[in-house]
Amino acid sequence: MQRAICGFHLDQEQHWVAELECGHFQHVRHNPPWQERFWVTTESGRLSRLGRLLECKKCDRNDPPDNLP
């Protein structure tokens, strides 16, 4: 299910996590060559992605919202 990005935070390992409008979180790592997401490495890049849609598999499974630690 497609859900909009409404924010970002760093996890305990300092990896960027997208906060989705549904309340779920999803890692958005820049980890070449597997994931090339240069935009995640800068604040302006992350801000440019607010409102963009990501596929939320947790919604597909009807998982409850995630919580920040």
- What's the token pair of residue 26? 């999803």
Residue partners of 7: CB distance under 8 A and separation at least 6:
18, 19, 50
Q: pLDDT below 50 — which residues of the chain?
A: none
- Residue 69 belongs to some domain of the structure: no
- Residue 50 belongs to some domain of the structure: yes
CA distances from 52 to 3, 7, 45, 59, 69 (A): 8, 11, 12, 16, 25
- What's the token pair of residue 35? 């994931």
Q: What is the pLDDT of residues 2-12, one digit of tens each?
A: 999 999 999 99
- Residue 65 belongs to some domain of the structure: no
Domain interval for residue 30: 2-60
In this predicted structure, what is the pLDDT of residue 30? 80
* pTM of model > 0.75: yes
For residue 20, list its beta bridge partners: 5
- Residue 28 belongs to some domain of the structure: yes
Question: Number of folded domains in the chain?
Answer: 1
- Residue 20 belongs to some domain of the structure: yes
- Residue 68 belongs to some domain of the structure: no
Measure the CA–CA gap between 45 and 9, rounded to whole angstroms: 14
